[in-house]
């Protein structure tokens, strides 16, 4: 698929994206409306388009504001104080998404929703006013309703309202306006009822619940492309170039069997193009002539009807006399003061008129199905208004760049994460638009400069998306200035810059190999090569002369595989008891090059025992081992280990808990300083006080084994450790925590009942007696 260009004009010329929402609408020529008499007093809702028809509407679930607000001019208000001015702008922005979106205007070859365009201008004013007044971001972030609205709008491919309205390409409108679609062969099926109701609610709001409206799925047929897609996926845009329109990622819904299948659209009349994926069609068998006949019959049957005295309800079907020979069936959609907003069931138009113009219809005419149906093209998507989407990202970036006070600066990243800003920016890295992806990556880069910003970005799944996007860009072999690649590499560098903990946990060898591949490719962008080199230095951390760069051969290798690298790796041996001695040992094991280390750890050339980062230990959690990937060993975390210690003590064997090794056996380590090691020891001693009976000092041993990248690293400079907590219970002693006993079985620690304890003791005694009976009896000499 061709890459979407960065320019605004070119982006708008592509009639596809991943959102379905209100947009510009198709209007028929005056000739296609011949025979339809209109009352000039019942005027359609105004719009700013050169076309006279009102556009497709997207309705909020709770419409409260006036529809007239949609067509207001520039914001006019007294500025008052600076704070009041910004708050008024924010309130105005929120009002744009509490009203129906029905107006549209022509902008750069596209028909754009008036409300979304006005919302974009308001958001620009908010950003400029906040920057000009040197306002901090605390007040902006504390307005959760405003921030959550921006986040929801930025999720342009998510279901539900509010969403950014889609645009309609002028070439797509021409396709249906000129009738060229009639030459396309297609299969029409009845859309699933549940899915169709949701689509109609986006047009008519709550009024759609009171009437059954037809919905169809149109699958076009034609010559197939190499990848199996229909030729309908090609649109003629610009100077006759063919642009590939990707298929929708939305799974196809189950469709009912069509009682009257059609092979083409010749029997249909397209009333309006809502967007590139949705059409309003006249599905009456007799066509426009049948609709006109129905309007004449309605006028004759209700010639003596009087206007209704009381205001109708939303969702009620009423009659609208337009002349002595024509009456329209309308559906009441909403009310604006004393005026009613109605939708014509057989014309597909929105009208605003006084309630006194409506008359009651005979029940038989209310039961007739509407002549207007909704056609869905599942293989085509509708593009959102990218101007508003990019401005939302620009506002997020302005919030991040505000120079806040130190007290709030520490909580800013937490608020941005809780509001969903970090997650939505990470998801936009996979947007179809190049400029949107680049802006999102730049905003995430600035987020990494905040306290704990890098961790928040990584936890939002950003790293996987950056890797995937860089891989796609590398495979495309583009030779133009690669701005997006440089931005993504800058983001990768900012995430890991001077943060050993994040680099140890998230960095991978694939990152280094991918960057080397980008660096080796020829590029006219001179800054890209320097950016890649800086990112490599950040990942490999060469600024510390005492530490070598990570070796690719040591990543995720099992200990037995390290034998070929001349490291001191040994299989389990009885001499391992030296490292698991019952006496209280020092913080680091004494150099004993002649004694093999326990499984998983190795000896450095200087004779110290250590673990290698990202290696796999040759054991998992079992009867005597427990692997715990704790990120810290504060008092609360230590207390969570007491049940494992209690269960190990009741095995009456030598058991060890490894803190800093994942459940899969991958060595990660815990970042501890000298003071942190002392704190861990004190926490463990404090936690042991809850054990009954009291644990003797010789039954507990705590060791801090360094985690190194290579055996050449300085042993004393290690900042990551695997904490080994070894315990050995006294035989025939049952340990408990506040009269609650924990036992160990099949690698799991569980809370035992009194019956479980008796069975466990009997089992251990039986094993002990059996072993004693097998020992040879002493002989007299």
Together in a domain, 565 and 659: yes
Tell me what the mean pLDDT of segment 296-304 comes to.
87
Q: Which of 155-164, 419-428, 448-457 has the highest mean pLDDT?
A: 419-428
Q: Is the CB of residue 412 less than 8 Å from the CB of residue 137?
A: yes
82 compared with 512, residue with greater pLDDT = 512
Least confident of 306-320, 337-351, 588-602: 588-602
pLDDT tens sequence across 703-733? 999 998 887 787 777 888 999 999 998 888 8
Cα separation, 757 vs 755, whole angstroms = 5
Together in a domain, 560 and 682: yes
Q: Is the CB of residue 200 less than 8 Å from the CB of residue 347?
A: no
643 compared with 270, residue with greater pLDDT = 643
Tell me what the mean pLDDT of segment 474-486 comes to.
74
Predicted confidence at residue 341, as pLDDT, reads 86
Tell me what the mean pLDDT of segment 191-214 comes to.
76
Together in a domain, 567 and 513: no
**Does residue 26 register a pLDDT over 60?**
no
498 compared with 428, residue with greater pLDDT = 428
CATH of the domain at 326: 2.30.30.140
Predicted confidence at residue 221, as pLDDT, reads 64
Least confident of 65-79, 138-152, 206-220: 65-79
Identify the bridge partners of residue 748 per DSSP, sorted by sequence position. Answer: 745
Helices vs strands, H then E, count in the chain: 23, 25
SS3 304: coil
**Does residue 78 register a pLDDT over 80?**
no
Any domain includes 716: yes
SS3 340: strand
Domain boundary among 341, 369, 397: 369
Cα separation, 638 vs 686, whole angstroms = 9
Identify the bridge partners of residue 106 per DSSP, sorted by sequence position. Answer: 111
The CA–CA distances, whole Å, from 727 to 626, 635, 658, 662 equal 12, 19, 12, 20
Together in a domain, 737 and 608: yes
Predicted confidence at residue 66, as pLDDT, reads 34
DSSP-assigned states of every residue in 102-120: --EEEETTEEEEHHHHHHH
**Does residue 579 register a pLDDT over 60?**
no
Q: What is the pTM of this model?
A: 0.55
Together in a domain, 611 and 730: yes
Predicted confidence at residue 727, as pLDDT, reads 92
Q: Which of 208-212, 382-386, 483-487, 657-661 has the highest mean pLDDT?
A: 657-661
Domain boundary among 543, 572, 593: 543
DSSP state of 589: P
pLDDT tens sequence across 326-383? 999 999 988 887 888 888 888 888 888 888 889 999 888 888 888 888 888 777 767 7
Any domain includes 46: no
Least confident of 278-292, 546-560, 602-616, 750-764: 546-560
528 compared with 9, residue with greater pLDDT = 528
Together in a domain, 359 and 423: no
Any domain includes 763: yes
Least confident of 250-254, 453-457, 723-727: 250-254
Q: Is the peptide bond before 693 cis (omega within 30 degrees of 0)?
A: yes
SS3 content of the chain, % helix, strand, coil (to 5): 40, 20, 40
Any domain includes 325: yes
Give the largest Cα separation in the chain, rounded: 133
Domain boundary among 543, 571, 591: 543
Any domain includes 293: yes
Any domain includes 308: yes
Any domain includes 109: no
Q: Is the CB of residue 444 less than 8 Å from the CB of residue 462?
A: yes
Beta strands in 6-77 (DSSP E): none
pLDDT tens sequence across 498-554? 777 787 778 777 788 888 888 887 766 677 888 888 888 887 764 444 444 433 333
Predicted confidence at residue 33, as pLDDT, reads 33
The number of beta carbons lying within 10 Å of the beta carbon of residue 153 is: 23
The number of beta carbons lying within 10 Å of the beta carbon of residue 433 is: 23
Helices (H), 384-508: 386-401, 406-418, 421-427, 434-447, 453-459, 462-476, 483-496, 500-506
Cα separation, 567 vs 630, whole angstroms = 28
Identify the bridge partners of residue 501 per DSSP, sorted by sequence position. Answer: none
Domains contained in the chain, number: 3
Together in a domain, 531 and 592: no
Query: Beta strand 326-336 with 339-344: parallel, antiparallel or unpaired?
Result: antiparallel
- Residue 700's nearest CA partner among 640, 655, 745, 651 is 655
- Residues 6 or more apart whose CB falls under 8 angstroms from that of 88 comprise 77, 80
The structure tokens listed for 620 are 């998992």
Together in a domain, 761 and 641: yes
pLDDT tens sequence across 128-170? 887 776 556 677 787 888 999 999 988 877 766 788 888 877 7
Helix (H) or strand (E) holding 679: helix 674-687
Domain that holds residue 516: 412-543
Together in a domain, 669 and 574: yes
- Residue 111's nearest CA partner among 199, 176, 183 is 176
138 backbone dihedrals φ, ψ, rounded to 5°? -65, -45
Any domain includes 584: yes
Identify the bridge partners of residue 4 per DSSP, sorted by sequence position. Answer: 433
Tell me what the mean pLDDT of segment 277-287 comes to.
74
Percentage of the chain modeled with pLDDT above 90: 8
Cα separation, 45 vs 199, whole angstroms = 22
**Does residue 601 register a pLDDT over 70?**
yes
Q: Is the CB of residue 135 less than 8 Å from the CB of residue 39?
A: no
Together in a domain, 652 and 703: yes
SS3 721: strand
The structure tokens listed for 218 are 């149109």
Mean pLDDT of the chain: 71
Q: Is the CB of residue 619 less than 8 Å from the CB of residue 600?
A: yes
Cα separation, 408 vs 495, whole angstroms = 22
Predicted confidence at residue 648, as pLDDT, reads 92
Together in a domain, 611 and 489: no
Together in a domain, 539 and 437: yes
CATH of the domain at 487: 1.25.10.10
Helix axes 483-496, 509-520, angle to 10 degrees: 150
């Amino acid at each position: 698929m061709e890459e979407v260009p960065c320019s605004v004009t070119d982006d708008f010329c592509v009639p596809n994206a991943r959102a379905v929402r209100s947009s510009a609408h198709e209007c028929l020529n005056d000739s296609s409306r011949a025979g339809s008499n209109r009352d000039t007093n019942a005027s359609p809702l105004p719009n700013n388009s050169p076309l006279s028809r009102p556009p497709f509407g997207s309705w909020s679930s709770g419409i409260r504001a006036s529809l007239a607000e949609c067509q207001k001019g520039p914001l006019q208000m007294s500025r008052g104080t600076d704070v009041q001015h910004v708050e008024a702008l924010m309130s105005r922005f929120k009002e744009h998404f509490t009203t129906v979106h029905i107006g549209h205007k022509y902008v750069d070859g596209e028909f754009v929703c008036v409300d979304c365009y006005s919302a974009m201008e308001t958001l620009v004013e908010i950003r400029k006013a906040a920057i000009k007044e040197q306002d901090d971001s605390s007040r902006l972030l504390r307005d959760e309703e405003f921030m959550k609205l921006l986040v929801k709008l930025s999720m342009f491919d998510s279901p539900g309202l509010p969403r950014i309205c889609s645009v309609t390409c002028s070439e797509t409108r021409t396709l249906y306006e000129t009738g060229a679609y009639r030459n396309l062969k297609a299969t029409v099926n009845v859309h699933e009822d549940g899915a169709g109701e949701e689509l109609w609610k986006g047009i008519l709001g709550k009024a759609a619940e009171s009437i059954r409206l037809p919905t169809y799925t149109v699958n076009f047929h034609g010559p197939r492309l190499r990848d199996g897609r229909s030729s309908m996926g090609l649109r003629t845009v610009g100077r006759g170039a063919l642009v590939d329109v990707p298929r929708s990622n939305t799974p196809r819904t189950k469709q009912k069997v069509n009682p009257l299948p059609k092979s083409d659209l010749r029997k249909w009349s397209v009333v309006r193009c809502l967007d590139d994926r949705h059409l309003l069609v006249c599905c009456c068998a007799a066509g426009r002539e049948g609709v006109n006949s129905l309007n004449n019959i309605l006028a004759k049957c209700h010639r003596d009807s009087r206007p209704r005295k009381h205001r109708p309800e939303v969702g009620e079907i009423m009659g609208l006399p337009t002349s002595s020979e024509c009456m329209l069936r309308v559906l009441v959609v909403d009310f604006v003061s004393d005026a009613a907003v109605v939708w014509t069931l057989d014309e597909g138009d929105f009208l605003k008129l006084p309630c006194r113009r409506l008359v009651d219809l005979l029940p038989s005419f209310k039961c007739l199905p509407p002549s207007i149906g909704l056609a869905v093209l599942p293989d085509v998507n509708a593009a959102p208004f990218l101007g508003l989407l990019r401005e939302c990202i620009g506002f997020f970036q302005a919030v991040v760049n505000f120079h806040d006070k130190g007290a709030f600066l520490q909580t800013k990243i937490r608020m941005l994460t809780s509001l969903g800003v970090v997650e939505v920016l990470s998801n936009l890295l996979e947007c179809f638009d190049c400029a949107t992806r680049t802006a999102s990556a730049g905003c995430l880069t600035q987020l990494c400069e905040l306290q704990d910003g890098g961790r928040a970005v990584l936890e939002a799944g950003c790293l996987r998306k950056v890797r995937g996007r860089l891989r796609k860009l590398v495979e495309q072999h583009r030779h133009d200035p690669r701005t997006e690649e440089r931005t993504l590499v800058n983001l990768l560098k900012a995430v890991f810059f001077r943060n050993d903990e994040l680099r140890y946990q998230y960095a991978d060898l694939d990152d280094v190999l991918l960057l080397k591949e980008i660096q080796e490719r020829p590029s006219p962008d001179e800054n890209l090569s320097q950016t890649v080199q800086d990112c490599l230095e950040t990942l490999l951390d060469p600024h510390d002369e005492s530490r070598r760069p990570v070796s690719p051969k040591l990543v995720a290798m099992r200990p037995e595989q390290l034998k070929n690298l001349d490291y001191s790796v040994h299989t389990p041996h009885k001499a391992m008891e030296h490292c698991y001695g019952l006496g209280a040992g020092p913080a680091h094991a004494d150099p004993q090059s002649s004694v093999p280390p326990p499984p998983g750890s190795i000896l450095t050339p200087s004779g110290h025992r250590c673990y290698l980062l990202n290696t796999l230990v040759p054991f998992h959690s079992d009867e005597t081992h427990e692997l715990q990937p704790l990120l810290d060993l504060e008092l609360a975390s230590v207390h969570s280990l007491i049940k494992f210690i209690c269960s190990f003590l009741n095995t009456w064997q030598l058991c060890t808990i490894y803190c800093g090794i994942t459940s899969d056996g991958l060595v990660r380590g815990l970042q501890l300083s000298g003071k942190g090691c002392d704190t861990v020891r004190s926490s463990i001693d404090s936690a042991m006080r809850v054990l009954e009976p009291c644990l003797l000092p010789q039954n507990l041993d705590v060791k801090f084994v360094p985690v190194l990248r290579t055996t050449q690293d300085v042993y004393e400079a290690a900042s990551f450790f695997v904490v080994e907590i070894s315990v050995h219970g006294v035989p025939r002693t049952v340990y408990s925590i506040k009269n609650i006993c924990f036992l160990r079985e099949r690698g799991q620690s569980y809370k035992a009942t009194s019956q479980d304890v008796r069975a466990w003791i009997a089992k251990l005694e039986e094993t002990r007696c059996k072993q004693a009976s097998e020992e040879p009896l002493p002989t007299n000499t």
